Amino acid sequence: MPRASEARPKDQDQRLALPHPHGGRLVDLRVKDEEERRYLLGISKELKRVVLDEGQAADLGNLADGSYSPLRGFLCRHDFLKVVHDMALEDGTIWPMPIVLPVSREEAKRLRGERELALVDREGRPLAVMELEEVYPYDRAATARELFLTCDPAHPGVREWLAQGEFLLGGEVRLIREIQLHPQFERYRLHPVETRVLFITKGWRTVVGFQTRNIPHRGHEYIQKSALEIADGLLIHPKIGRKKPGDFKDIVILKAYQALIDHYYLKDRAVLAVFPAKMRYMGPREAVFDALVRKNYGCTHFIVGRDHAGVGRFYEPGAAQRIFDELGDLGITPLRFEPVFYCRRCEGMVSEKTCPHGPSERIDPSGTRLRELFARGESPPPELVRPEVAQIILEEEAPFV
């Protein structure tokens, strides 16, 4: 029997059950002291400015609220090169995604010698003050090959990488203005510290994270509910931000998932929240990145598909799952699921592991096929997409990016 001073309250036990943030501590770079915030807003008017696009502003917000823990700013040269070549920071912490702030050669020349910069949105409103530690060049083509495993500009992530500025700015940031989302997304926004409190309040000791950039079909639902058989709760966490042409629009994805949760999930077992970030389509690296981010949000498990964050035929099937074996223990457990399909004979969603019947009995819920049906104004069979979900998409005037 422990002494009174050694006893821990129940909620503390639950808090300890959630994984530690990546790197051991949840970063918070949001300036909360009003006097300090006013001071930084004041000096930001005198500093040289860097205008952020939507994706860069989202990265800034994720740096500030701890989504990208342990990062404290845009990567400096040594961390950048280590991430590119070894999927780790200089101190050895696994980190697969370079969070960088690119600028043109002319911009780099204008900013050299500055100690601080004001990071502003497209309307010129100050978002953060950045301590400028480095302005450095990098080889766009060589780093693209390392990151995306290809230099082919047909890859949407490669195309964007090769088009960005040829210099990078590195340094810590302090956020002085919250990064605002569109009002239709704002009510679904939860910061990592908030999801952790929410999971504790719900009494969840194990939480499965699910990343998506697509509308939910019955295969997704089957996988999520299978995962819930071994966990207390589910965080459905669609990535809201820039996507390639042909992907579903963010608002369509969100409305579709809300309909699914309203009708087919237990309210005390599933949470729908948005993760503001652009898709990189970086395949295996992005799978690890997505898992580590959800670890920061408090997830203990993460669902990884065979083609997680893939595009076209640029990545080998299963590569996004195998990379977790190569990297070892990341502090979050990957849940690897095989592709699922509807079997007429089984009368349900199954996989190669559970169904003995041949291809003639199968209906494949592929994203490409579903997009083609919706583009023609046709509703997929209910075996693939819930009618409530299909109706939302068909009623949307232009459901695709």
168 plus 273 within the same structural domain: no
Give the DSSP letter string of 328-344. ---SSEEEE---EEEET
Angstrom distance (rounded) from CA 340 to CA 326: 25
pTM: predicted TM-score of the whole model, two decimal places: 0.94
49 plus 128 within the same structural domain: yes
The total number of structural domains that make up the chain? 2
**pLDDT score at 366:** 85
314 plus 189 within the same structural domain: yes
Among 175, 209, 230, the domain boundary falls at: 175
234 plus 375 within the same structural domain: yes
For residue 368, name the pLDDT band (cuts at 50, 70, 90).
confident
pLDDT tens-digit profile of 108-166?
999 999 999 999 999 999 999 999 999 999 999 999 999 999 999 999 999 999 999 99
142 plus 192 within the same structural domain: no
For residue 8, name the pLDDT band (cuts at 50, 70, 90).
very low
136 plus 218 within the same structural domain: no
Q: How many CA atoms lie within 13 A of 113 on its CB side?
A: 2
pLDDT tens-digit profile of 200-239?
999 999 999 999 999 999 999 999 999 999 999 999 999 9
193 plus 129 within the same structural domain: no
171 plus 228 within the same structural domain: no
Task: Choose among 300, 299, 320: nearest CA to 309.
Answer: 320
Among 114, 142, 175, the domain boundary falls at: 175
DSSP 87: S
In a domain, 4, yes or no: no
- Residue 6 φ/ψ region, left for φ over 0, alpha for ψ in the -120 to 50 degree band, beta for the rest: alpha
155 plus 204 within the same structural domain: no
- Give me the residue label for tokens 């498990």: 301
In a domain, 6, yes or no: no
111 plus 248 within the same structural domain: no
Q: Are 260 and 216 in contact (CB under 8 A)?
A: yes
List b or e across 309-348, with b for residues whose CB sees 16 or more CB atoms inside 10 angstroms.
bbbeebbeebbbbebbeebeebbbbbbebeebbbbeeeee
Among 158, 175, 192, the domain boundary falls at: 175
Task: Choose among 62, 340, 313: nearest CA to 189.
Answer: 62
130 plus 212 within the same structural domain: no
**pLDDT score at 304:** 97
Q: Are 286 and 308 in contact (CB under 8 A)?
A: yes
Q: What is the CATH number of the domain that holds 116?
A: 3.10.400.10
User: Could you tell me the residue range of the domain that residue 150 belongs to?
Assistant: 34-175
201 plus 314 within the same structural domain: yes
Please identify every residue annotated as catalytic: 213-214
